[in-house]
Amino acid sequence: MTEIKRPLVYDITHVVSRLAITSPTGIDRVDLMFAKHFVGGEPALATVAHYGFRRPHVLDANQARSIVRMGRELWEPNDSKRNRLFSRGLDKSIASVTSIRGQIDKLLWKVPRLLKIQRLRLRDAPRTHIPKNSIYINVAQHLLEFPVFFKWLNARPDIAKVFFVHDLLPLDHPEFFPAGYHKRFEKRLRTILRHATALVVSTESVARRVEAELQTRGRSNIPIHIALLPSSIETSRQDQDAEIELPSAPYFVMVGTIEPRKNHLLLLHIWRELAKGPGPVPVLVIVGKPGWETEQVMDLLSRCTQIRPHILRLSGLSVFQLRKLLAHARALLMPSFAEGYGLPLVEALGVGTPVIASDTGVFREVSQNRALFLSPLDGLGWQAAIKDMTVDGSSLRAEFASRAAAFRAPSPVEYFDKFEAFLSSL
* Residue-wise pLDDT tens digits, 361-409: 999 999 999 999 999 999 999 999 999 999 999 999 999 999 999 999 8
pLDDT at 107: 47
On the question of pLDDT at 91 being above 50, the answer is no
Q: Looking at the DSSP assignment, which residues form a beta bridge with residue 8?
A: 135
How many CA atoms lie within 13 Å of 205's alpha carbon, on the beta-carbon side?
A: 18
On the question of pLDDT at 412 being above 80, the answer is yes
Task: Find out whether the peptide bond into 170 is cis, omega within 30 degrees of 0.
Answer: no
- Pick the more confident residue, 66 or 268: 268
> Which backbone phi and psi does 287 adopt, to 5 degrees?
-105, 110
pLDDT at 410: 85
Per-residue pLDDT tens over the stretch 25-68: 888 889 999 999 999 888 888 988 988 777 888 888 888 888 88
How would residue 83 be classed by pLDDT, with cut points 50, 70 and 90?
very low
pTM of the model: 0.87
Buried/exposed 46-60: b ≥16 CB within 10 Å, e otherwise: bbbbbbbeebbbbbb
27's CB contacts (< 8 A; 6+ apart) are 14, 139, 140, 166
pLDDT at 126: 54
Per-residue pLDDT tens over the stretch 194-243: 999 999 999 999 999 999 999 999 998 999 999 999 987 754 455 545 66
- Give residue 418's Cα distance to chain centre: 21
Distances (CA, A) of 149 to 50, 51, 251, 301: 10, 6, 46, 41
Q: In order of start, what are the domains of the chain with their CATH numbers? A: 8-230+411-424 (no CATH), 239-405 (3.40.50.2000)
Per-residue pLDDT tens over the stretch 37-48: 999 888 888 988
Percent of the chain past pLDDT 70, that is, above it, reads 85
Per-residue pLDDT tens over the stretch 273-330: 999 988 889 999 999 888 888 888 888 888 888 898 899 988 777 778 888 899 999 9
On the question of pLDDT at 423 being above 50, the answer is yes
Per the CB < 8 A criterion, the answer to whether 300 and 6 are in contact is no
On the question of pLDDT at 99 being above 70, the answer is no
Which letter does DSSP use for residue 254 in this model? E
- Pick the more confident residue, 270 or 127: 270
Per the CB < 8 A criterion, the answer to whether 250 and 282 are in contact is yes
Indicate the length of the chain as a whole number: 426
Per the CB < 8 A criterion, the answer to whether 323 and 242 are in contact is yes
135 φψ region: left (φ > 0), alpha (ψ -120 to 50), beta (else): beta
Per-residue pLDDT tens over the stretch 322-361: 888 999 999 999 999 999 999 999 999 999 999 999 999 9
On the question of pLDDT at 90 being above 60, the answer is no
Cβ neighbours of 204 (radius 10 Å): 13
